[in-house]
Structure 1
């Protein structure tokens, strides 16, 4: 089996914990999905996605059926699980947490933030998908709360944000800014004026880091990588949209307890 290419975070390099922020390289998909597409919601060949996910699971030293990835709906909802679920029964949520060894938790993204969490002392892990809507509505805090319900402590949790769209690539309209003004007072510092009239540039990286700090976690690491700007390594929904491509691949970030 060919190795799935991935990146790691120093914060999560802990005994008994395996994690990976997979790039788009090292898989079997073709065309716009080349090559390590992990998105079952894409129009890619199902067998190619299965093989790609199997390679990701192998990188975490777990069986393919032990890699749990939810049906993401841009919500703030986090769910604790103790066992994997079949594809047709994927829970509709945007974060998973567990204390079960040998169970991998994953999320997909193609510009949205993918965050991995661990309380190494309590041996509890989490994975969250944080697009702008999920981040604004509290998915980071919900993940921390779900981990605490299993016995973790916020002041022991370490987390890392993988590749996602960065401020120089993230132009938004006035209605987007208004949603933040209404939902999170003081978030204006995460917006910069665009060269285009009436538009702004949003700092998703900075905003997620801020929400992590507000959740009280012990340590947060941002890999600082822009999915839109680095086509060689990352899929990007916005880049595909700008190019009017028919679809796009999905990156996967995943974590597991040994």
Structure 2
């Protein structure tokens, strides 16, 4: 079977499968071509279900044991018990599991997908870190939930997948002021790239700062910008600039 996902060495352990999936390898037509995992922009449920089944097969698990979320830009985290219901997903932006034979996944199209694992204690986690989740604490909430399932924070490995980079993420002065009002420590995460007249937001830098401050075993970043690599990954902001629709990609991790 052709491998259609980006892998990270920091998550490559016996008994753990993972993948940062992109646009390739699915059945959806343009502009959702082709491994789209969301119906929100107009793709069919049949296509999305087929694509999720392809991803489950890549991970080596049954679709009925693939836990997914209704993501709402929150800092809520849920435990997955191994019984998936894709039609009635819990509203949350972080998910954890210690059930063998299960997978959990996060969909994104510029926001930051973070995958976690404690390979010794066989606990996995995933979170969706848009700017609200990133500054609000979704990373630490996910780590806390993993520890509730028996993970040891110092044995957890985390990888941030493809997301929008600051050079392509202009936010403006009002956005910056609103964020710094509550999180003044993020002052350094609003760069002005060459030629910029308005501040940009360093989403991956913000997420990595949280991961690195959590005293994990390892914290790494794939360093892939979804906007710049739009031919490989879905990017909501790029699609907006091109006045078109786009899909969502999935980042997923499994305990085999």
TM-score range, shorter chain: over 0.9
Residue aligning to 1:160: 159
Deviation at 1:125, TM superposition (A): 0.2
Distance in 2 between residues matched to 1:59 and 1:41, nearest whole Å: 24
Once the two structures are superposed, residues 196-217 of structure 1 have per-residue CA deviations (whole angstroms, 9 ceiling, x without a partner) of: 43x1121111110001122222
Residue aligning to 1:69: 68
Residue aligning to 1:173: 172
Distance in 2 between residues matched to 1:153 and 1:179, nearest whole Å: 35
Specify the SS of the correspondent of 1:171: coil
Asked whether the 8 Å contact 1:4–1:22 carries over to 2, the reply is: no
Asked whether the 8 Å contact 2:158–2:218 carries over to 1, the reply is: yes
Specify the SS of the correspondent of 1:206: helix
Deviation at 1:121, TM superposition (A): 1.1
Specify the SS of the correspondent of 2:14: coil
Asked whether the 8 Å contact 1:136–1:183 carries over to 2, the reply is: no
The reply to whether residue 248 of structure 1 matches residue 250 of structure 2 is no
Distance in 2 between residues matched to 1:32 and 1:3, nearest whole Å: 23
Deviation at 1:185, TM superposition (A): 2.1
Residue aligning to 1:97: 96
Asked whether the 8 Å contact 1:39–1:249 carries over to 2, the reply is: yes
Once the two structures are superposed, residues 116-148 of structure 1 have per-residue CA deviations (whole angstroms, 9 ceiling, x without a partner) of: 000111110001000011011100000000001
Q: Which runs of 5+ in 1 are unaligned?
A: none
Residue aligning to 1:107: 106
Distance in 1 between residues matched to 2:165 and 2:29, nearest whole Å: 26
Distance in 2 between residues matched to 1:179 and 1:67, nearest whole Å: 37
Deviation at 1:43, TM superposition (A): 1.3
Deviation at 1:36, TM superposition (A): 0.7
Deviation at 1:166, TM superposition (A): 0.7
Asked whether the 8 Å contact 1:140–1:215 carries over to 2, the reply is: no
After superposition, the CA RMSD in angstroms is: 1.3
Distance in 2 between residues matched to 1:156 and 1:94, nearest whole Å: 22
Could you say if the C-alpha distance between residues 43 and 4 of structure 1 is closer, same or farther in structure 2, counting changes exceeding 3 Å?
A: farther
Once the two structures are superposed, residues 44-75 of structure 1 have per-residue CA deviations (whole angstroms, 9 ceiling, x without a partner) of: 01111111111100010011222111000001
Deviation at 1:3, TM superposition (A): 4.4
Asked whether the 8 Å contact 1:106–1:254 carries over to 2, the reply is: yes
Residue aligning to 2:255: 257
Residue aligning to 2:137: 138
Once the two structures are superposed, residues 163-215 of structure 1 have per-residue CA deviations (whole angstroms, 9 ceiling, x without a partner) of: 00011111111122123212222211111125343x11211111100011222
TM-score if structure 2 supplies the norm length? 0.96
Asked whether the 8 Å contact 2:67–2:80 carries over to 1, the reply is: no
Asked whether the 8 Å contact 2:67–2:83 carries over to 1, the reply is: yes
Aligned length: 255
- TM alignment of 1:1-258, pairs within 5 A: 3=2, 5-194=4-193, 195-197=195-197, 199-245=198-244, 247-258=245-256
